[in-house]
A = this chain, B = another copy of it.
């Protein structure tokens, strides 16, 4: 059981979203924020940095948005589905865009391959939360 799931289960407040779905998205958000931060840095160190500008910029946006989404989803007190829905939508958009960008460099740069995988996993986790919100 991940720490995020344990925390959800020991909190005296709840969101109505399935704890497993919620914890999977929180974990994916924090891991994706870390990977995107590293990928931006790795792209910056590449010889071909000038051709990786879009990748770096999208990584930076995706890191910030994933981190904020992971924080918002970690809170269960006085849960507000409108704020949750809007930030998870933004996270899904950022992860899809960043995943597609990194996927294009995945054969040349291993850090972009790992980042594409993390973005795709986080996008899927966001979709699961949005589906739960729509129920």
A residues in contact (CB < 8 Å) with B: 3-4, 6-8, 10-13, 26-27, 30-31, 33-35, 37-42, 44-47, 49-50, 53-54, 56-58, 60-61, 63-65, 67-68, 70-72, 74-78, 80, 82-83, 86-87, 89-90, 93-94, 97, 109-111, 114-115, 118
Measured CA separation A67–B41 after assembly (Å): 16
Question: For A63, what are the chain B residues with a Cβ–Cβ distance below 8 Å?
Answer: 71
CB of A111, distance to nearest CB on chain B (Å): 4
Shortest Cβ distance from A54 into B: residue: B78
Report B-chain residues with C-beta under 8 Å of the C-beta of A56.
44, 77
Copy tally for this chain in the complex stands at 4
Q: List 6 A-B contacts (CB under 8 A).
A: A13-B41, A13-B42, A34-B74, A60-B75, A67-B67, A67-B68
Q: Are B65 and A87 in contact (CB under 8 A)?
A: yes
Note all chain B residues with C-beta closer than 8 A to A86.
Answer: 89-90, 93-94
Interface of A is mostly: helix
Complex Cα distance, B63 from A70, in Å, reads 12
> For A38, what are the chain B residues with a Cβ–Cβ distance below 8 Å?
4, 7-8, 11, 74-75
Q: Are B49 and A53 in contact (CB under 8 A)?
A: yes
B80 touches A6 (CB 8 A): no
Given contacts A3-B34, A7-B115, 15 further A-B contacts (CB under 8 A): A6-B114, A8-B38, A11-B41, A11-B42, A27-B34, A37-B71, A41-B57, A42-B77, A44-B57, A45-B77, A54-B77, A56-B77, A58-B80, A80-B97, A87-B90
